């Protein structure tokens, strides 16, 4: 038996493929009887799918710093 807190952490890890097999089994068992966590797990998975689909790009911090410098140069 695991707590809901533990279950949510495993669920988050699972979104990044970092949960161990044992953890995943524990989570699966928890989701059988905990409706709240099951709902959270569903939504969490959906968020992962959305993020994958959106093909997000981000600038790294160094690139942003460079931009800031250039901008400040011109203010």
CA 37 – CA 45 distance, rounded (Å): 12
Q: What is the DSSP letter of 55?
A: T
Judged by CB under 8 A, does residue 32 bind another protein? Answer: no
Of 21, 22, 53, 62, the one binding another protein (CB under 8 A) is 53
Of 2, 8, 24, 38, the one binding another protein (CB under 8 A) is 8
Judged by CB under 8 A, does residue 43 bind another protein? Answer: yes
Q: How many CB atoms lie within 10 A of CB 16?
A: 8
Nearest approach, Cβ of residue 1 and another protein (Å): 20
CA 54 – CA 29 distance, rounded (Å): 31
Judged by CB under 8 A, does residue 17 bind another protein? Answer: no
């Amino acid at each position: 038996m695991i707590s809901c807190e533990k279950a949510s952490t495993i669920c988050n890890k699972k979104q990044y493929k970092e949960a161990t097999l044992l953890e995943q089994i524990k989570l699966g068992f928890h989701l059988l009887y905990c409706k709240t966590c099951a709902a959270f797990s569903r939504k969490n998975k959906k968020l992962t799918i959305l993020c994958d689909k959106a093909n997000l790009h981000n600038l790294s911090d160094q690139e942003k710093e460079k931009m800031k410098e250039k901008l400040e140069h011109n203010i």
